[in-house]
Amino acid sequence: MHKYNTLIKSIKEYKIQTFILSGIILIILPRIMPLFWLFFIIWCIPFAITALAINLIFGYGGLLSFGHATLFAIGMYTSAILNFWFRINHVETLLIAGTLMSCIVSIFMGVICLRATKIQFTILTLAFQQIIHAIFHKYPIFGTPGIELPTLLGLKDYITSILWFEIKSPGPNYFLFEIYYYYIMLSFISSIALMWIIVNSSFGKALQATRDNELKANFLGIKVGRVRLLAFIISGTFTGFAGALWVPINGSTSSYIPHWDIALEFAFYPVLGGSRTFLGPILGAFVFKLIKDVAWTYLSIYWRLVVGIILVLIIIQAPMGIMGNVNKLTAYISLKLKPPIEIQAVNTLKIPISMERLNDEYIVLKNNGRKGYKMVGWVISDFSPSGKQRHTYTFPARLANNYEWVLDRGEIILLHTGKGEDKFDKNEKKFHFYWGMDQPIWSNEEHVIHLYDNKGKLIRSFKIL
């Protein structure tokens, strides 16, 4: 327990060092990890970005889309066609072209599909998906079943341009594991950071409002249609970027990508990982790909059956997604690691008749743990429901009789609102502390009491209605 507390404290106090250490691990990862697992991570990253994009419209917007496999394929095929037919080997040009084309298609697709909501929206995106699949599968320019792109893999003696530098590959794995690995990691981290900014912006909050209550959001002046369209465009743009990013890894395109089967898989990522969490969809994409690849490798034609059974069991056991359960477990562990000082009750007073009567208003705290806690420097704060801090009280180092106090097991603190002399009642095992106020604190409106330790860590909260 002590070791765990020390680890958490170190991470919080040394965030910069932790960030640097993570960067070092990412840099040396290609040197220490087997090529199979390294390739698996690189191969999954575009799908993780796609999962993050889908969750913008699904988890934050409340709309289930089956059309993102199409947008992934648009980015993929745009990049592949420019490389295969026009011999463009500049990676940034291919990524920008694929991303822009997906953005344009997502505008067109969003304008049409967002005329409806809920299940009708989902069916429209699925219909759009099948139309694009038929086009990609039929016309020769898209290849049948796809376009082979050995050039982007950076084979020996082939020159690839990345970040405006020409790179000549000495071997077949050089570009992918020596150059493109760092490029795709940087793209992945940048995508996560940008999406974090979006979902936590005023636009992200407006999108969540349309998900929770469309009518109320409209009443508050939020342009629901515009917000959803913009969210769909942003989501589609991220997805197209992921598709273009995936082409050099796979070395080919596939007309099977814009198929309803893949569309269902894409939509399943946030469900599996946790659509109401930010990083859940990313975890869902990696877990799904791992289960699918292992089952496909060892179970041949029965892999779909096994994958289906495993996923059903996971969803039953984790209805909030994997990350949702992880967050619940983390919160539970965090709560167990906190000192068991409970805010048990608050005795409120509406109108004090005298200063003596004012002390009849008090907060009750009790140590329910197995050991004593020295609460010197701990703070009680009074917050309004909106989060505005109004009053604070800091527990002293000594009582009035110069007694160094410790809240032992089973002992109680009464923090009175009025004035008086801090003391300890041995018979009742109660400490009496006095705030020193000349009027009630906990009456007339809602309050939230926060208890912090002497390092500012929140221990408990208590709401007074």
Q: Establish if 292 belongs to a structural domain.
A: yes
Q: Establish if 294 belongs to a structural domain.
A: yes
Q: Establish if 434 belongs to a structural domain.
A: yes
One domain, residues 320 and 450: no
One domain, residues 358 and 297: no
Q: Establish if 268 belongs to a structural domain.
A: yes
Does pLDDT of 325 surpass 90?
no
How does pLDDT run across 194-206, given as a tens digit for each residue? 999 999 999 999 9
Of all residues in the chain, what percent carry a pLDDT higher than 70?
A: 85
- CA-based nearest residue to 155, from 176, 137, 134: 176
Q: Establish if 291 belongs to a structural domain.
A: yes
Say how far apart CA 165 and CA 375 lie, in whole Å: 60
One domain, residues 178 and 60: yes
One domain, residues 397 and 294: no
Q: Establish if 52 belongs to a structural domain.
A: yes
Confidence of residue 6 (pLDDT cuts 50, 70, 90): very low
Given 331, 364, 395, which residue is the final one in a domain?
331
Paired tokens of 134: 């038929």
Given 331, 362, 392, which residue is the final one in a domain?
331
One domain, residues 310 and 360: no
Q: Establish if 5 belongs to a structural domain.
A: no
Which residues touch 162 (CB under 8 Å, ≥6 apart)?
A: 90, 91, 92, 179, 180, 183
One domain, residues 306 and 445: no
One domain, residues 110 and 172: yes
Contact 362, 414 (CB under 8 A): yes
Q: Establish if 2 belongs to a structural domain.
A: no
How does pLDDT run across 233-278, given as a tens digit for each residue? 999 999 999 999 998 888 888 777 888 889 989 999 999 999 989 9
Helices within 88-142 (DSSP H only): 91-113, 118-138
How does pLDDT run across 356-407, given as a tens digit for each residue? 578 888 999 999 888 888 899 999 988 766 666 678 899 998 887 777 889 9
Paired tokens of 357: 């009567």
One domain, residues 247 and 345: no
CATH number for 405: 2.60.40.1260
One domain, residues 65 and 148: yes
One domain, residues 257 and 150: yes
SS3 168: strand
How does pLDDT run across 16-65, given as a tens digit for each residue? 666 677 778 888 888 888 888 998 999 999 999 999 999 999 999 999 99
Given 308, 331, 354, which residue is the final one in a domain?
331
Q: Which structural domain, as residue segments, surrounds residue 390? A: 340-464
Longest dimension (CA), the chain: 92
CATH number for 27: 1.10.3470
One domain, residues 194 and 275: yes
Q: What is the tally of structural domains in the chain?
A: 2
One domain, residues 129 and 201: yes
